[in-house]
Every structure is written in C-alpha cells, then in structure tokens.
Amino acid sequence: MKQSAARQTLAIHLADEAATTALAARFARTLQAGVVIYLDGNLGAGKTTFVRSVLQTLGYEGRVKSPTYTLIERYEAGGLQLRHFDLYRFRDEEEWESAGFRDEFDGHNVCMVEWPELAGQLLPAADIVIAFDILLQGRTVTISAFSNLGEQCLNTLHA
C-alpha cells in the first residue's frame, strides 16, 4: 500500500449523520469504473455509513451490511460493479489470493476499502482516500486524490 503525495485535497465538516449521507450521495455521482477508494478513520467514524449512502444513491435497494466478518460484499448498481471491503479482521495474507481479492481490483470494479492498512502491501494504491476524523460533535472528512482518475472524481464533486 504505497501512497504518493495527494494531488488535490478537499476538507469538509460533517455536522451529523445526514451530512455524511448527503456528501456520499454527491460523491456517488462522481464514480467511474475502476476507481479504488480507501476509507480511513477509527471505529464508528462513518465509513460504512458513507458506503451505504453511495450504494443507495446508485439505486441499490437491498440491505447494505458491514462486511466485518465476510471481509467483502459485492454489489451491482448504477451501471457499476462495486466491492465493499472491511479488512479489520483480515490477518492472513495468503487469504488475499485464495479468496480472490486480488482479482477484484481489475480496473473495472469500484473498490471501497475500510481498514486498508490491515492488508499491508497487498492492496493496490488508492485513487482516492476519504479520511474521517471524529470530533466532539460530528466529523471532519478529508478527500484526497492520488491519480488522474481520482482527480476526475474530485473535480466532478466540486462542479
């Protein structure tokens, strides 16, 4: 998981859960096939809340469960294939291959990864990192782009 310097960064205060879901709804509309997104932030910071709102905005109507135990959940919505990882319980590097996780990063799937640091060097680099900080009230979120694809998404978010 090598990461170069961010090309562009956007910091936003999210006063409450509704602000998190509203930002995720805007972000959903910027997504393109193949984008790799890391979601950083402590337990309960809002990573899954964000992904759930992205999926719902794209039209997914089922339940969006946290992949805490399954490590991955797969979705199709809004004309995209999406993969939601939660690597909090990931310990076994061999499982990365055997479970087919490497194959999910195929330049086509949108991959959203909670706890990316737990995959060590196995994980492909992110196009976008969304980092949540827990405040006494609300959150701050910092969205950073690390590639052309990531910058395209951020530019659409600004627009």
Interaction site with Mg ion (CB under 5 A) = 47-48, 66, 114
Which of these, 150, 44, 54, lies nearest to 88 by C-alpha position? 44
SS3 93: helix
User: Which of the choices ligand ATP, Mg ion, none does residue 109 contact, using the CB cut-off of 5 to 8 A by kind?
Assistant: none
Q: Output the CA–CA distances (angstroms, integers) from residue 140 to 20, 78, 102, 137, 143, in the order listed.
A: 10, 28, 31, 10, 10
Which of these, 64, 63, 50, lies nearest to 114 by C-alpha position? 50
Which of these, 92, 91, 108, 102, lies nearest to 32 by C-alpha position? 108
Q: What phi and psi, each to the nearest 5 degrees, are found at residue 10? A: -135, 125
Q: How far is the CB of 65 from ligand ATP (least distance, A)?
A: 11
Q: How far is the CB of 152 from Mg ion (least distance, A)?
A: 26
Nearer to ligand ATP, 115 or 146 (CB): 115
The one among 35, 40, 49, 101 contacting ligand ATP by CB under 6 A:
49
How far, in Å, CA of 66 to CA of 44, rounded? 12
Nearer to ligand ATP, 49 or 109 (CB): 49
Is the Cβ–Cβ distance between 127 and 153 less than 8 Å?
yes
Contact between 19 and ligand ATP by CB under 6 A: the answer reads yes
How many residues contact ligand ATP, by CB under 6 A? Answer: 18
Contact between 20 and ligand ATP by CB under 6 A: the answer reads yes
Interface with ligand ATP in residues 77-136 (CB under 6 A): 86, 114
The first and second tokens of residue 12, run together, are 């936003």
Nearer to ligand ATP, 83 or 139 (CB): 139
Nearer to Mg ion, 40 or 114 (CB): 114
Give contact residues for ligand ATP (rule: CB under 6 A). Answer: 14, 16-17, 19-20, 41, 43-49, 66, 86, 114, 138-139
